[in-house]
Structure 1
């Protein structure tokens, strides 16, 4: 990771931490902040200098003080704080959701690398991660096949998703009140309300917000297998959602309200309420996925003579 990226990630992390603190004395040492942000003291000093220049943190003699809380404009944009792997993941998701990935389409990984501005190795490593879930299959001597999703596959994915998300949600409410995750959840909640108020014009922005909320919850599991699995969930659910446009606006309106119920349950730390709202939302997501699979790409009907469990046409991804 580039040094500048490390600084920006640490700076944003520190802002999220300060957002949950009361104004006034901030008695943290460079060593403590270095441990909390998981960066060197040199980077910490750069972060503190930036906070002082922005008028967020000042000094009172030898002690630091939090002068004001951060606002959204204080944060570096997300794309400036990404690792290479995260950048590939984001760009691949955008590529899929923009409709550039269609069943039967042949794609060259070197072309993807050029499009994303990364190495072919980074793209290949990203695609390899999906093979363990059966979503991508390696063809002998000629790259990859996107296997597609059948109703049976969707049912299996839903079962694991529910189990992992409930486990992650329970871990989320164990976080300390000053954890940056709570500040991020509050930011996501505000964006939900903003999107609902402009749903007629912005309903297609839902996918990004949906991914952000569920990834936040999965990331707090501190389990690399759960985090990796969410990459597959994002591709499967968001990609197939694009197939059925018939009631997209109303569907997204319902999902936004379910998200807000879910967020309120997380804030309450009531495990029973969390379980109820999480299961209700995931059942809706499963029904939407199954309906989208039935509709097929571009809103077309499934091919005649094909049973619901028949293999779907795949996306072939050659190695070079």
Structure 2
């Protein structure tokens, strides 16, 4: 699948999520900023939505005709990049096989099991190794060092410092900054998700990742933005260690996100710090409880 096709399908799905909570869509420039795509892609999305009978599009008017349904969305396997496919497959493999600390992983065998080329897998493993979960060994082998309570605590400590710094940077952005339009779109997605949480609660991690990445990007700090990759990866998959109560946890997280968004829009540092810390405290507790044999 081409990169262009993947970008289109990802943006199309996000636009459908927007429509779940809105009666109409904004102007093409605003929609492009919210979705992070060009105006050409926006028009392709609008054309597809109109052909599917989701909206009535007449120049500036883009009115919703019906609420999106599951069948309207492109499946994950069509919207993920090769890097995301490797990431997802690698983490699921570790979880499904219950890989213990000290386990040796061979590039060739792992690439074959995931169904990707060894060079692409090696690039992922090298990037992932920076964070101490795996370690390079001779002869194209890697050792899994384990996801421990100590690692989780170190990760959450860094996340909390980086995110609060980023959140404060966010509220200093000018009114015309595209991040505010993106935040409005994110808020609409959260309301749509809350209304349909019974059917889609397992998909929350993707929305969660995009929300927090939007905040981290406001830092304009390459190290904070880069480190969010490992934060997203771990928090994206933590629920798979312990699925119990997933719907309830995600419902709480959506509520916390909306309070967080409201605090960002207020530009009040005290409110923002309280909302940010409340949500990150919940995330830390959930992560620690997800670890086998660990009590938070």
Distance in 1 (alpha carbons) for counterparts of 2:18 and 2:7:
17
Return the structure number with greater relative CO, CA threshold 8 A, min gap 6.
1
TM-score by length of 2: 0.70
Picking from 142, 145, 163, the partner of 1:144 is: 142
Of 71, 80, 101, the match for 2:68: 71
What is the match of residue 6 of structure 1? 7
Q: Which runs of 5+ in 2 are unaligned?
A: 174-178
What does 1:260-275 correspond to in 2, within 5 Å? 260-268=255-263, 269-270=265-266, 271-275=269-273
Partner of 1:111: 109
For 1:23, the equivalent position in structure 2 comes to: 24
1:138 match: secondary structure = strand
Distance 1:180 1:35 in 2: 6
Q: Secondary structure at the match of 1:66?
A: strand
Q: Is the 8 A contact 1:169 1:218 kept in 2?
A: no
CA contact (8 A) 1:97 1:239 kept: no
Larger radius of gyration between Structure 1 and Structure 2? 1
Distance 1:35 1:285 in 2: 26
Aligned in 2, Cα 1:256/1:291: closer, same or farther, shift over 3 Å?
Answer: same
2:213 to 210, 213, 219: 219
- For residue 159 of structure 1, report the CA deviation from its aligned partner: 1.4
Distance 1:254 1:17 in 2: 22
Partner of 2:180: 176
Q: CA deviation at 1:252?
A: 7.5
Further displaced range: 147-156 or 124-133: 147-156
Render the CA deviation track for 1:28-47: whole Å, top value 9, x for unaligned. Answer: 48xx9599753483x55543
Paired residues of 2:105 and 2:144 also in contact (CA < 8 A): no
Q: Secondary structure at the match of 1:71?
A: coil
Stretches of structure 1 that go unaligned for 5 or more consecutive residues are: 196-201, 300-320
Please show how residues 49-88 of structure 1 align to structure 2 within 5 Å.
Answer: 49-55=47-53, 56-59=55-58, 63-68=59-64, 71-73=68-70, 74-88=72-86
Deviates further, 32-41 or 99-108: 32-41
Structure with more helix by fraction: 2
Q: Give the SS at the match of 1:107.
A: strand
Tell me how far 1:182 sits from its aligned partner: 2.5
Contact 2:56/2:62 (<8 A) preserved: yes
Q: Does the Cα contact within 8 Å between 2:260 and 2:272 map onto a contact in 1?
A: yes
Q: Give the match's secondary structure for 1:67.
A: strand
Q: Shift in Å at residue 217 of structure 1?
A: 2.6
Task: Give the secondary structure class of the aligned counterpart of 2:100.
Answer: coil
- Asked if structure 2 preserves the Cα contact closer than 8 Å seen for 1:5 and 1:82, the reply is yes
Distance 1:212 1:172, change over 3 A: farther
Distance 2:252 2:61 in 1: 38
The question of whether the paired residues in 1 share the 8 Å contact of 2:28 and 2:42 is answered with no
**Distance in 1 of aligned mates of 2:156 and 2:34:** 37
> 1:127-166 residue pairs with structure 2 within 5 A?
127-166=125-164
Distance 1:19 1:294 in 2: 37
